[in-house]
Every structure is written in structure tokens, then in C-alpha cells.
């Protein structure tokens, strides 16, 4: 499974397109994304990821590119109280000049490679989007001191994400979407707050996606993810997690059930700076651990930008060797 712009230095160099350019031009966004198929050899491509602030800026967060080849930073939106939240309307992503870019790019990607290669959509949970709108520290404070305001904000975001699903299904022509839910994590939050502010708002979004015919892949790359809760509440078609995470052991097979497992290989250390032999051992261990089931091998999350190309390609080559045995 391809993480959009993972190893971004390499795809930018080959395509001759910067991230900043891609943010504002659907054709360049599509070209930059599709370049990864040639650079890394993955068997699918994602119209999004690494663009987590595209959603937040639509709600007033201000983007700033300090380097045209890196992701932008942002300043939180000027949302302070219930009155300012009440003034917010749900946003049709297609009406926003930046958030609409990956939607339009996805259509171009489907037209270009869709007959042979799966094109995935991408978004984040309402809670992750809210972290970009408010700033993460403010988000944590709102959970404790302004819970009703936060709940209302999450509802606005969730309604906007539902419209994203409509656009991706009906305009872009996609049938699967990748959802980043990496803040559903015991190291960052309590299970009670996670249930109320993360999983419950996302449940409605996932149900809407499902009604549109979009298969859902829920992603969580954290060290202590609430995987069981994500699976139980969201009922995704596939669950993607780091196989070294707390609780991600063989007992997860029964929890995953009929769903597809996306086994994430350590991206920060192993794929980034490990040897090719170490990467192969990790892939073989994951395959052995989770047995003969529907399994996709993937990086656990986005690769650091200077990850050696050979290390990313090794994931593909190991899977090819396993498949022919």
C-alpha cells in the first residue's frame, strides 16, 4: 500500500514537481502521485496523504510553505468559542480551491491508470482534522474545558467529510478510501475521550462512505492504538496498523475477522535505515504472525523523505518472492 508522497524527495526529483506546486494544481498533484508507481513499484496509488492540512485550511487554518519541497506548516483557525463554531457551515470540499485539488487529481489518476492500478482516496478522521484546525494542544484543552464546542466542531467536519465521500465516489470514480485515525491512541488520550470525540464522529462518516460504495481502510500508526475499538465501532473493510504496536499480536487475527489486514512494517527505523536483509526478516515475520489470510504489506506510515529508494522497493521485492513460493 502506497503512502502518498512517502519518500517525497524521490518522487519530486523524478517528476520535477514540488509539493507546493502540487497543492494548487490537480494535474501536477496527479503527476506527482503517479510518479511513485515508477519510483517505488507499488501496486496502488493514493490521491492524498501528507496533505492533512488541506482539510484544516478550508476551515480557516492558514498554510505557510517555508520550503516548496516540504509540507506546509499552519496557524490555527480563529475559532475560540461556541459562537464562532456556530458560524461555521459544513464545507463541500469541491468548492474549496485547495481541498478540491486531490478530488480532481483522483479523477485524472483513474482515467490514466485506473484500469490496471487501484487508486485510493484519502482523508482523516474528524478528530485529526480538528487538530489541524485548532492546533493539537488546543484540541486537548477543548476536550476537557470546551467539550460541547468541540463536539459541535466535529459535527461540522464530519458533515464535510461525508460530502468528500460523495465527490470521490461520484466525480472521481473511486471505490476505496484510506482514513487516517492515528490519534486514537492510549498514549495521547483516554479511551473515554477517544470514543466520544474520535471514534463516534468518525463512525457516521464511515457509514456514509459505505453507503456510497466506498470500501474503507482505517489507518493507525501509533505505538499504543485503540485497534479493537476502531474495529468494533467503525467496522472497516480493512485495518492498517504497525505490526510492532502494543496489542498488535497474533490475537488480533480474531478481532480482524473477515476484514483485510494491512500489516505495517516499521517505517521510522527499519525501512528508513535498516538493511535489506532486516526488512525481509520483518516482512516474513509479519506474514508468519498473521497467517494465511488477506494481507497487504505496507509501510506502517509515511516514509521519511530521505529513505533510500532501495529500502522502499525491497518491500515490493520481498512480497514478490513470497508470492512465488
**Residue 250: Cβ-neighbour burial (10 angstroms; 0-12, 13-18, 19+):** exposed
pTM: 0.94
Containing domain of residue 115, as a range? Answer: 8-323
Tell me the per-residue pLDDT of 294-318, one tens digit each, with 9 for 90 and over: 788 999 998 888 888 898 888 889 8
Give the count of domains, the chain.
1
| Residue 2 falls inside a structural domain | no
CATH number at residue 80: 3.20.20.210
pLDDT in tens, 231-259: 999 999 999 999 888 877 655 666 777 78
Question: And the C-alpha cell for 255?
Answer: 478481532
Q: Give per-residue pLDDT as tens, 257-286.
A: 778 889 899 998 899 989 999 999 999 888
| 314/51: higher pLDDT | 314
Residue 1 inside a domain? The answer is no
Average pLDDT over residues 70-88: 91
Give the separation between CA 105 and CA 109, rounded to whole angstroms: 6
In a domain, residue 33? The reply is yes
Q: Is the dihedral of CA 244, 247, 253, 259 positive or negative?
A: negative
In a domain? residue 3: no
Examine residue 161 and state whether it is found in any structural domain, yes or no. Answer: yes
Would residue 148 count as lying in a domain?
A: yes
Amino acid at each position: 500500500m502506497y503512502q502518498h508522497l512517502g519518500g517525497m524527495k524521490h518522487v519530486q526529483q523524478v517528476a520535477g514537481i514540488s509539493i507546493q506546486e502540487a497543492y494548487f494544481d490537480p494535474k501536477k498533484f496527479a503527476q506527482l502521485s503517479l510518479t511513485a508507481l515508477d519510483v517505488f513499484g507499488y501496486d496502488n496509488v493514493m490521491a492524498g496523504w501528507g496533505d492533512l492540512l488541506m482539510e484544516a485550511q478550508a476551515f480557516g487554518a492558514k498554510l505557510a510553505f517555508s520550503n516548496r519541497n516540504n509540507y506546509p506548516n499552519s496557524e490555527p483557525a480563529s475559532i475560540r468559542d461556541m459562537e464562532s463554531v456556530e458560524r461555521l457551515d459544513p464545507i463541500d470540499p469541491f468548492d474549496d480551491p485547495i481541498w478540491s485539488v486531490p478530488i480532481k487529481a483522483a479523477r485524472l489518476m483513474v482515467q490514466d491508470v485506473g484500469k490496471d492500478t487501484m487508486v485510493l482516496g484519502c482523508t482523516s478522521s474528524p478528530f485529526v482534522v480538528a487538530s489541524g484546525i485548532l492546533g493539537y494542544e488546543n484540541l486537548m484543552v477543548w476536550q476537557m474545558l470546551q467539550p460541547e464546542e468541540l463536539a459541535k466542531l466535529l459535527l461540522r467536519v464530519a458533515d464535510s467529510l461525508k460530502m468528500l465521500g460523495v465527490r470521490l465516489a461520484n466525480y472521481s470514480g473511486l471505490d476505496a478510501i484510506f482514513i487516517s485515525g492515528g490519534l486514537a491512541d492510549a498514549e495521547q488520550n483516554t479511551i473515554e475521550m477517544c470514543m466520544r470525540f474520535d471514534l463516534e464522529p468518525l463512525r457516521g462518516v464511515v457509514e456514509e462512505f459505505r453507503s456510497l460504495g466506498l470500501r474503507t481502510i482505517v489507518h493507525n500508526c501509533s505505538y499504543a492504538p485503540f485497534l479493537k475499538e476502531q474495529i468494533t465501532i467503525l467496522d472497516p473493510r480493512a485495518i492498517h496498523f504497525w505490526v510492532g504496536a502494543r496489542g498488535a499480536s497474533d490475537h488480533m487475527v480474531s478481532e480482524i475477522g473477515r476484514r483485510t489486514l494491512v500489516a505495517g512494517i516499521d517505517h521510522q527505523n527499519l525501512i528508513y535505515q535498516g538493511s535489506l536483509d532486516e526488512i525481509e526478516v520483518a516482512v516474513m515475520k509479519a506474514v508468519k504472525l498473521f497467517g494465511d489470510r488477506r494481507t497487504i504489506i505496507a509501510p506502517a506510515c509515511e516514509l521519511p523523505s530521505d529513505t533510500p529508494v532501495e529500502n522502499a522497493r525491497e518491500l515490493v521485492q520481498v512480497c514478490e518472492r513470497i508470492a512465488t513460493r
